[in-house]
Amino acid sequence: MPVQPILRYPHPVLKKLCNRVEKIDQCIHDLIQDLVDTMHEGPGSVGVAASQIGVTLRVCVVDVSKNRHGKENNHGLLRMINPEITDRSGSATMREGCMSVPDYTGDVDRATEITLQFSEPDGTRRELTASGFEAVAIQHEMDHLDGVLFLDRVTSIKTGLFRRKNY
Average pLDDT value for residue range 126-135:
98
pLDDT at 137: 98
157-160 contacts, C-beta under 8 A, 24 or more apart: 159/107, 160/106, 160/107, 160/108
pLDDT at 165: 80
Please give the angle made by the CA atoms of 117, 96 and 166, to the nearest 5 degrees: 140
Which among 84, 113, 120, 141 is annotated as catalytic? 141
Q: Which fold has domain 12-163?
A: Peptide Deformylase (3.90.45)
Would residue 84 show up in a list of annotated catalytic residues for this protein? Answer: no
Question: What are the residue boundaries of the structural domains of the chain, listed by start?
Answer: 12-163
The model's pLDDT over 34-90, given as tens digits with 9 standing for 90+, comes to: 999 999 999 899 999 999 999 999 999 999 999 999 999 999 999 999 999 999 999
pLDDT at 1: 61
pLDDT at 158: 92
